[in-house]
Chain A
Amino acid sequence: MSAKATTLNVVGGPSPLQRALGGVPIRLFVLAVVLIWTIPTLGLLVSSFRTQQAIAASGWWQGLFNFTNFEQWTTNNYERVLFADQMANAFFNSLLITIPATVIPITVAAFAAYAIAWMLFPGRQLLFVIIVGLLIVPLQMALIPVLRVYTRYGINGTYLGMWLAHTGFGLPLATYMLYGYISSIPKSIIESAHADGATPWMSFTRLVLPLSIPAIASFAIFQFLWVWNDLLVALVFFGTRRPIVTTRLAELVGSRGQSWHVLTAGAFITMIVPLIIFFSLQRYFVRGMMAGSVKG
């Protein structure tokens, strides 16, 4: 960290001396914030590899200072939380919910956005305004009535119920984002495809969808993370009989709030997929989070 800090160069400012002096407090402040923003997560990661006894006996930072005391390190926490505590099962269920709950809204929204942008029908302006309005209706407004229907028809606790619920709650944003992109495709491209005899289906699947990949990728990442990290929709519509990562982790906090060896490993398992996405697709990730910030 300190090696990095010395390479930070402050540009601008009146004189070299003032520049140097003015830069130091700023660097220290930024460094402090970076530490507060990373140390808690680091503590979680380190503790997840320490034995239950080691966690109780000393702070994780002490464990790090005595790194060579190998007795404290273990991978048993992960084994335990994955299998005895059902986290592997939860991980599997989370994937089965999250993948379709990302693909379905993108598909439904892309067709709708294409229709609003490039097809003629009465009320298309109005429909778009309504969708923008729906963007900010809080999730809480939908839960009770939908749950009552789900319970009546036995859809509660099903994958399908989760996919469709997340589709519904993600759809205004998906349509809004994809419309912005699809409507900005030059008119001449769409029209020339039409003149060459392409049906709407063909121009949508072979032209518009491939051109919209950047917008689709941004939304896909946002929606994937939103569904993966969601607790509320899962608690209400999926229940805890079949675990997913967030509901399982929340349950572990409730039942074993002091078993830090289990909680830290469990928490890290829930975080691993988002972190991989974050580090591998950072640009799309940032774009997706920015665009998705208006979600209701």
Chain B
Amino acid sequence: MSDVSNSRTISEMLDEPKIKVAFAIAATALTLALLVGGFFFLRDVTRAPRIAIAAVALIIGVGGVWALFFSMNAIAELFKPTVRDRILPYVFLAPAVLVLGFYIVWPAINTINLSFMDRFGNEYIGLDNYAFIFTNEAMLVVLRNTLLWVLLAPTVATALGLLIAVMVDRFKPTAEKITKSFIFLPMAISFVGASVIWRFVYAYQPPGLPQIGILNAIYTALGNDPLAWITLRPRNNLFLIFIMVWLQTGFAMVILSAAVKGVPKDLLEAARIDGASEVRSFFNVTIPYIQGTILTVLTTIVFLVLKIFDVAYVMTSGQYGTNIVALRMYQEAFVQRNFGRGSALAVVLFVVVIPLLVRNVRGLKETRG
């Protein structure tokens, strides 16, 4: 009984205006203390025990964001409901808008600006950075390689993914599921991890020593001399690109498999009655029916391939004529510290994907009527 009356008085107390104000202020002060104190602790305290650092990091990282929304909401609730409801959208949106503004919108504009400036970002130098990108001999190789990546990796991964999707569609459900998860598995592996895996596949030992890389083991077993695959210009680009195919085929397969299963059975049946072979009905019925999905998969992988620098970074660091725009951007900006050139390379990547942006926004308008 006393419990009930106690809780009632507490909730009555909480409804009192003064208490509510004090509560909101206390919550806000605590939140700020938590965030600021935690930040300096994590930045400057290096001698603290591991567990303490982990605890503080998780409390700040996970609890901090919730405390922030909670205290801002508490302040908004001090007002009358009608006023509160006009303030709250901004409370709920403010962190998102600030983060997007600082981490994407402002830097993107700034990067475009920097791309016309010298290496320190002090003086405008016109189009020099772009002229360098499109005339320097080493850069032309970088552009050629990037084009090769963008043309090959998405098409091969998509075609192979589609082929597998259609083929396993005839398997028993369990067999289909197991096959698909094997092919999808590399999606879980980081680009760095995958690169180590494939460095080991491509490993080279001079003739006479045991070949520990499986590719050279097979190649020498067929009577050839071992090859240092990743140094063979310009073929080595293909061996790097294959790693991306290996990583992305599962993605294409899963999406296209769903699309293939969505092709109406009576369409395929009609084609069969008309005497079309499996292969012909695949090209004349299935592909036209799912071409929208195929296009989506292709553009998605193109977009990914443009940005990923990890594979080339780990496999060759861009040596042996294997550099690509995303890796060169990293090297120019963060190894050479040439911010102008790095920015120009980023802008090149951005310009290539702008059509995709237009397509996204347009697709959005269509779906919303």
Contact = CB atoms under 8 A, between A and B. Distances in A.
Partners in one complex: yes
Interface of A: 4, 7-13, 22-23, 26, 29-30, 33-34, 36-41, 43-44, 47, 55-61, 92, 95-96, 99-101, 103-104, 107-109, 111-112, 114-116, 119-121, 124, 127-129, 131-148, 154-155, 158-160, 163-165, 167-169, 171-172, 175, 199-201, 204, 225, 228-232, 235-236, 246, 249-250, 253-254, 257, 260, 263-264, 266-267, 270-271, 274-275, 277-278, 282, 285-286, 289-290, 293-294, 296
A8 B173 CA distance: 9
Given A40-B198, A41-B189, A114 B160 contact: no
A201 B77 contact: yes
A169 B175 CA distance: 38
Task: State the majority secondary structure of interface residues on B.
Answer: helix
B304 to A, nearest CB: 8
A144 B93 contact: no
Contacts of B47: none
B257 to A, nearest CB: 10
A96 B54 contact: yes
Nearest to A30: B167
B333 interface: yes
Contact of A58 (B77, B186, B210, B300): B210
Interface stretch (B2-10, B108-116, B145-153, B282-290): B108-116
Q: Of residues B53, B99, B184, B196, which shows the largest number of chain A Cβ atoms within 10 Å of its Cβ?
A: B196
Nearest to A125: B368
Given A26-B167, A44-B197, A250-B192, A136 B62 contact: no
A36 B201 CA distance: 11
B141 to A, nearest CB: 20
B58 A8 contact: no
B313 to A, nearest CB: 7
A140 B53 contact: no
B364 A132 contact: yes
Interface stretch (B18-26, B82-90, B124-132): B82-90
B267 interface: no
Interface in B54-92: 54, 57-58, 60-62, 65-66, 69, 73, 77, 81, 84-86, 88-90, 92
B193 interface: yes
A100 B346 contact: no
Interface in B213-269: 214, 217, 246, 249-251, 254-255
A141 B58 contact: no
Interface in B300-329: 300, 303-304, 306-307, 309-310, 313-314, 317, 326, 329
A266 B189 CA distance: 13
A175 B214 contact: no
Q: Of residues A141, A172, A204, which shows the largest number of chain B Cβ atoms within 10 Å of its Cβ?
A: A141
A96 B189 CA distance: 20
Contacts of A132: 360-361, 364
A38 B185 contact: yes
28 contacts: A30-B164, A40-B197, A61-B214, A61-B217, A100-B57, A100-B58, A104-B62, A111-B96, A121-B90, A133-B361, A134-B104, A140-B345, A140-B349, A144-B114, A144-B343, A145-B114, A158-B43, A164-B103, A199-B77, A229-B189, A229-B190, A250-B310, A260-B212, A263-B199, A267-B197, A278-B188, A286-B184, A293-B251
Interface string B156-184: 00001001100110111001001101111
Contact of B342 (A116, A144, A159): A144
Contact of B190 (A39, A107, A274): A274
B103 A136 contact: no
B96 A171 contact: yes
Nearest to A109: B96
A165 B103 contact: yes
A138 B306 contact: yes
A44 B54 CA distance: 31
A108 B95 contact: yes
A263 B96 contact: no
